[in-house]
């Protein structure tokens, strides 16, 4: 009996990728907040206060919507600041608003979101949501849960 290994993988940023991202964030933060930000549908800036340090963070992020609700998909360590929920400021589509951010880390719940987003976006945009899917293989829920487990999380944005 052979067990099939999933070919779906979560994108895992390298040290070089993280370094380039930090440098790019310096440019992207003011750009997303400017009038140009109204034309950047897939990007946002999320601002929050660190749980332990009290430091204020402003992080450019990829932004998705599912059933009218804002979502941020991330593998970044800063997500820990949102455990248990937090009020955050989001600049998206040229608008600034305060919302409640709820962190979802449980693999089955994260996979549920990824399944729905793949249905909405299609396989060609899988990398946009942090997945590497070879060819035209439509991943199962279990394959997605295995791929994202401990690697990816979802931040659901809702009313405060």
Domain ranges of the chain: 9-158
Question: Which fold would CATH assign to domain 9-158?
Answer: Pnp Oxidase; Chain A (2.30.110)
Q: Please give the backbone phi and psi of residue 99, each rounded to the nearest 5 degrees, phi first.
A: -140, 170
pLDDT for position 18: 84
Q: Please give the backbone phi and psi of residue 92, each rounded to the nearest 5 degrees, phi first.
A: -145, 135
Mean pLDDT across the chain: 92
pLDDT for position 2: 42
What CA–CA distances, in Å, run from 18 to 22, 25, 55, 128? 6, 10, 20, 16
What CA–CA distances, in Å, run from 64 to 41, 43, 147, 154? 8, 8, 19, 10
pLDDT for position 43: 97
| CA distance linking residue 10 with residue 75, whole number of Å | 9
Q: 3-state DSSP call for residue 119?
A: helix
Is 4 a residue whose pLDDT tops 60?
A: no
pLDDT for position 14: 82
| CA distance linking residue 66 with residue 156, whole number of Å | 10
Q: Which residue has the tokens 């439509």?
A: 138
Is 81 a residue whose pLDDT tops 60?
A: yes
| CA distance linking residue 13 with residue 145, whole number of Å | 19
At 5, the pLDDT band (50, 70, 90 cuts) reads: low
pLDDT for position 1: 42
| CA distance linking residue 33 with residue 45, whole number of Å | 8
At 56, the pLDDT band (50, 70, 90 cuts) reads: very high
The percent of residues above 70 in pLDDT, for the chain, comes to 96
Is 6 a residue whose pLDDT tops 60?
A: no
Sign of CA pseudo-dihedral 13, 18, 20, 26: positive
Q: Which residues contact 106 (CB under 8 A, 6 or more apart)?
A: none
Q: What is the pLDDT of residues 89-139, one digit of tens each?
A: 999 999 999 999 999 999 999 999 999 999 999 999 999 999 989 888 889
At 3, the pLDDT band (50, 70, 90 cuts) reads: very low
């Amino acid at each position: 009996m052979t067990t099939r290994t999933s070919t779906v993988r979560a994108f895992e940023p390298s040290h070089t990728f993280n370094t380039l991202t930090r440098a790019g964030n310096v440019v992207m933060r003011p750009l997303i907040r400017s009038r140009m930000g109204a034309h950047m549908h897939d990007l946002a800036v999320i601002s929050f206060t660190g749980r332990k340090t009290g430091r204020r963070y402003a992080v450019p992020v990829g932004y998705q919507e599912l059933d009218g609700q804002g979502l941020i998909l991330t593998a970044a360590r800063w997500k820990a600041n949102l455990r248990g929920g937090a009020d955050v400021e989001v600049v998206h589509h040229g608008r600034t608003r305060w919302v409640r951010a709820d962190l979802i880390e449980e693999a089955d719940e994260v996979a549920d979101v990824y399944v729905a987003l793949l249905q909405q976006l299609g396989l060609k945009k899988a990398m946009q949501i942090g997945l590497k899917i070879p060819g035209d293989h439509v991943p199962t829920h279990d394959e997605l849960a295995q791929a994202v487990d401990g690697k990816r999380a979802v931040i659901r944005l809702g009313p405060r």
